[in-house]
């Protein structure tokens, strides 16, 4: 099998070729690592290679639905024991974690051959994948543009032909944005469907979910069958579906009631190309016999955004507290400062409001099966386009002073710090 043939196969097809004896896992890994090396400086999708771990996998018997297929995990939450989970940050780039995550255990049980970790923005905080620790990851379709984030390294690796699927996670679009920007299939599972143990019980109050980015729907469905399910010590157990997701693909869904909207829920401009993509999809679904209605949930988008950002700021403050402030990027330190300016009561109150949004969405889905919107409001940004302006990064003193004021507030001195 040459590279062009390799990249035409999804993970399911590659596993079938291995099972039939038409190619070996060693040969597949060589194709993947050769492609990783060839695209290393062009895409910068992988920030850590794990050749010794991959070799140990090849020396042991491989079994499972994806036996022998090369695989990458995201360098955020998807822990590989005795290796750092850098989260795209200098603060954690050299700190090994003690054990494999449940995600990695289940990927191993499926027979996947894990050989590296993919790049992510610092702490997974942005919809682009650029960081000071490992540099910018580029979109295989246009290397001047971002693949999105925070699972941008995973998306670049899959779209760039390194692997047929890669681990990803999503707390605010981090699977969906890269899927849209790189022409991939990206599904964000519901809360708790894929456990994130053992290091975490939930991530971002359950707002973040783990799964994969793929080139085919069937790979995503089969991988969800593998990753989903109860985990020892997990906070709750989500009931399984009536039948496996992979089997669900064989059953027609019937006539669906589909709502769609191209309006930004916070009132900002939506690029015409993004609107057109959603509208074209709506027309195609209607032509297939589904009922399509232009409508949206009764949710205050600005209120939801404020609640989400409260969570976001608070979580960043907590993550930065685990490292040295000087090791984090200026943007991250600024977000942490905003989080420290919040009171615990403000954080809890914002989180309680999630119930209002969840109930409204639940009522909406009593009358609709699907809700179709543009994934993003704008096309992929150019590399470096969203960087903090140089005139701000050149003057770190104000940020440092703000951090000292916030720390003084936490220690009971200096009065309260408030965000303008």
Centroid of chain to Cα 82 = 23
How high is the mean pLDDT of the chain? 93
pLDDT at 96: 98
CA–CA separation, 58 and 33 (whole Å): 14
- Tens digit of each residue's pLDDT (9 = 90 or more) over 163-186: 999 999 999 999 999 999 999 999
Tokens encoding 304: 């939801």
Instruction: Indicate which residues carry an active-site annotation.
Output: 74, 150, 174
Domains of the chain, earliest start first: 3-251 (3.90.1300.10), 281-410 (no CATH)
Check whether 409 has a pLDDT greater than 50: no
Task: For 361-375, write each residue's pLDDT tens digit.
Answer: 999 999 999 999 999
Average pLDDT (9-17) is 98
Check: CB of residue 161 under 8 Å from CB of residue 6. Answer: yes
Q: Percent of the chain having pLDDT more than 70?
A: 93
Q: Please give the backbone phi and psi of residue 305, each rounded to the nearest 5 degrees, phi first.
A: -60, -40
Please write the tens of the pLDDT for every residue from 107-163: 999 999 999 999 999 999 999 999 999 999 999 999 999 999 999 999 999 999 999
pLDDT at 419 > cutoff 50: no
Q: Which two tokens stand for residue 313?
A: 């700021």
**In sequence order, what are the beta bridge partners of 279?**
none
Nearest-angstrom CA–CA distance, 298 and 322: 39
The closest alpha carbon to 178, from 224, 132, 145, belongs to: 145
How many helices (H) does the chain have, and how many strands (E)?
A: 17, 11
Please write the tens of the pLDDT for every residue from 62-84: 999 999 999 999 999 999 999 99
- The secondary structure of residue 84, as a DSSP letter, is B
The angle, 0 to 180 degrees and rounded to 10, between the axes of the packed helices 217-227 and 11-19 is: 80
Read off the DSSP letter of residue 48.
E
Q: What is the mean pLDDT of residues 397-401?
A: 47
- Check whether 404 has a pLDDT greater than 80: no
Tell me the torsion sign for CA atoms 242, 248, 250, 251. Answer: positive
pLDDT tens for each residue of 19-56: 999 999 999 999 999 999 999 999 999 999 999 999 99
CA distance 68 to 62: 7
120 CB-near residues (< 8 Å, 6+ apart): 74, 75, 76, 87, 88, 129, 131, 149, 150, 151, 152, 153
Q: Residue 394: its pLDDT value, please? A: 58
Estimate the crossing angle of helix 344-352 against helix 354-364, to 10 degrees: 10
Q: How far apart are CA 139 and CA 144, in angstroms?
A: 7
- Residue 309 has a pLDDT of 97
Q: Is the pLDDT of residue 416 over 80?
A: no
Share of the chain above pLDDT 90, in %: 92
At 240 the three-state DSSP class reads: coil
DSSP conformational letter for 325: G
Work out the pLDDT band at 406, boundaries 50, 70, 90: very low
Confidence class of residue 393 from pLDDT cuts 50, 70 and 90? low
- For every residue of 113-155, DSSP letters joined together read EEEEEE--SGGG-SSS-EETTTEE--BTTBTTB---SSSHHHH
Using only the alpha carbons of the chain, give its radius of gyration: 22
């Amino acid at each position: 099998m040459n590279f062009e043939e390799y990249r035409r196969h999804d993970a399911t097809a590659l596993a079938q070729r291995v099972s039939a004896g038409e190619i070996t896992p060693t040969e597949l890994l060589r194709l993947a690592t050769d492609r990783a090396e060839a695209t290393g400086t062009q895409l910068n999708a992988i920030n850590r290679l794990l050749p010794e771990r991959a070799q140990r996998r090849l020396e042991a018997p491989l079994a499972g639905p994806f036996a022998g297929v090369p695989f990458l995990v995201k360098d955020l939450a998807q822990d590989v024991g005795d290796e750092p989970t850098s989260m795209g940050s200098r603060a954690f780039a050299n700190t090994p974690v003690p054990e494999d995550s449940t995600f990695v255990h289940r990927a191993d049980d499926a027979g996947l051959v894990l050989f590296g970790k993919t790049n992510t923005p610092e702490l997974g905080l942005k919809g682009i994948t650029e960081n000071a620790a490992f540099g910018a990851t580029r979109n295989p379709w246009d290397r001047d543009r971002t693949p999105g984030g925070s699972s941008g390294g995973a998306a670049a690796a899959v779209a760039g032909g390194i692997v047929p699927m890669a681990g990803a996670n999503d707390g605010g679009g981090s699977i969906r944005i890269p899927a849209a920007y790189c022409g991939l299939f990206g599904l964000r599972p519901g809360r708790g469907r894929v456990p994130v143990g053992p290091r975490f019980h939930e991530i971002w109050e359950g707002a973040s979910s783990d799964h994969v980015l793929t080139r085919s729907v069937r790979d995503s469905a089969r991988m969800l069958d593998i990753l989903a399910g109860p985990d020892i010590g997990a906070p709750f157990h989500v009931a399984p579906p009536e039948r496996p997701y992979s089997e669900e693909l064989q059953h027609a869904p019937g006539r669906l009631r589909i709502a769609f909207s191209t309006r930004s829920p916070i009132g900002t401009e939506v690029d015409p190309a993004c609107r057109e993509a959603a509208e074209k999809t709506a027309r195609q679904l209607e032509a297939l016999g589904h009922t399509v209605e232009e409508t949206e949930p009764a949710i205050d988008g600005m209120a939801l955004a404020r609640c989400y950002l409260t969570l976001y700021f608070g979580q960043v403050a907590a993550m930065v507290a685990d490292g040295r402030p000087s090791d984090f990027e200026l943007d991250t330190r600024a977000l942490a400062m905003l989080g420290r300016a919040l009171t615990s009561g403000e954080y809890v109150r914002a989180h309680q409001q999630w119930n209002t949004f969840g109930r409204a969405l639940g009522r909406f889905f009593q009358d609709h099966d699907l809700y179709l919107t543009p994934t993003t409001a704008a096309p992929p940004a150019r590399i470096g386009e969203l960087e903090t302006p140089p005139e701000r990064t050149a003057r770190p003193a104000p940020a440092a002073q703000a951090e000292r004021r916030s720390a003084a507030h936490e220690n009971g001195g200096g009065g309260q710090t408030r965000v303008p």
